[in-house]
Amino acid sequence: MAPKNQAYPFWIGGAAASMAACCTHPLDVMRVPEDNLRPLYQGCPANSWYVTLRCSPILADAAGVRGLYTGLTASIFRQMTYSIVRLGAYDKLKTEMAKGGKKLSTLDMVMCASGAGALGGLAGNPADIILVRMVADPTKPAEQRVNYSNALQGVYRMVKDEGGSSLIRGLAPNTVRAILMTASQLVSYDFFKDALLSANILSEGMPLHFTASAAAGTIATTICAPADVLKSRVMNQKGAGQGVMSILTESLRTEGPRFLFRGWLPAWIRLTPNTICMFVFLEQIRKGIDYIRDDRTIGEVTKDR
């Protein structure tokens, strides 16, 4: 049998996250108007996410239900930059810290996840901006739309029209959010998975992955809500825009501290299924790689005989 402690390819996290994004992208599209673009929804009850969705110009647009996949290229672009780096770096850092048979503590895993999250935030910042803009586009008046045809064209247009510095807009809140997301999501998944296995509540398999990832999604949603709201508000600006502190101060003055958790429910509805899909896909990819390694090892042993 092939050793189970072999490192997995760096790219598998990005692949799993991209597959999850294809499943849950409509939830991401529905969420943006809830926490950032509510002023555009005339006549919708202030606290009704369902009614807000019914009023959404995304569904009213000529594209109909296809509008729910607005910005899918940006979502995949984001996963293949942000997620591939943070998930890959997290595994690499854990492997390095565990050398010599050291058992990692929760603090060790938080440190690994925080470093990986910072790297992921830096790598995925341009894709994050493009995603926020493409998803928000259908909710805006025609003259204010960016009309990016795809993610790569969006990057080209941003650099051409706004300069290269536009790619780092919102970098600080995005990096903070990436650190919080990675530390809360990945560490809590490992924690719940190990706890459920140790308590013999669940054994290795799909029910375990589903339960641990659902709990991880709930924790990540709560911890990341404030940074997520600020990040989206900063990134959705065009031109010079306001700084993070200006937006925070003004929003606290006009809306109160509750604005930091605005859209928690739709964020949970989006993030938890995404987290479940991502970890289930990731575990299945790992299982497939283990199967291929075992098959090759058996073949080599048979050949040597």
Nearest to 72 by CA among 42, 9, 27, 7: 27
Question: 222, exposed or middle or buried, with CB in 10 Å at 0-12, 13-18, 19+?
Answer: middle
At 255 the pLDDT is 81
Dihedral angle computed from the Cα positions of residues 267, 269, 270 and 274, in that order, rounded to the nearest 10 degrees: 130
Give the residue ranges of DSSP H helices in 83-167.
Answer: 84-97, 106-136, 151-162
Cβ neighbours, 10 Å, residue 102: 9
**CATH code of the domain occupying 12-286:** 1.50.40.10
Could you give the CA distance from residue 229 to residue 234 in angstroms, rounded to a whole number? 9
* CA–CA separation, 227 and 212 (whole Å): 23
Closest CA to 87 of 194, 15, 3: 15
pTM of the model: 0.79
Q: What is the pLDDT of residue 31?
A: 63
- Centroid of chain to Cα 132: 12
264-304 and 171-198 helices, crossing angle to 10°? 60
Q: How far apart (Å, rounded) are the C-alpha atoms in residues 64 and 132?
A: 20
CB proximity list for 190: less than 8 A, separation 6 or greater: 109
Question: CA distances (Å), 127 to each of 100, 122, 168, 237, in order?
Answer: 38, 10, 10, 15
Domain boundaries defined on the chain? 12-286
Task: Say what the pLDDT of residue 49 is.
Answer: 47
Q: HSE of 283 in the Cβ direction (CA atoms, 13 Å)?
A: 17
Quickly tell me which residue has 């990986």 as its tokens: 116
What's the confidence (pLDDT) of residue 303? 62
241 Rama class: left (phi>0) / alpha (psi -120 to 50) / beta: left
Mean pLDDT (10-residue bins), the chain, 305 residues: 67 96 84 48 48 50 67 94 96 90 90 96 94 83 87 94 89 88 95 94 94 96 83 67 76 79 82 95 94 76 59
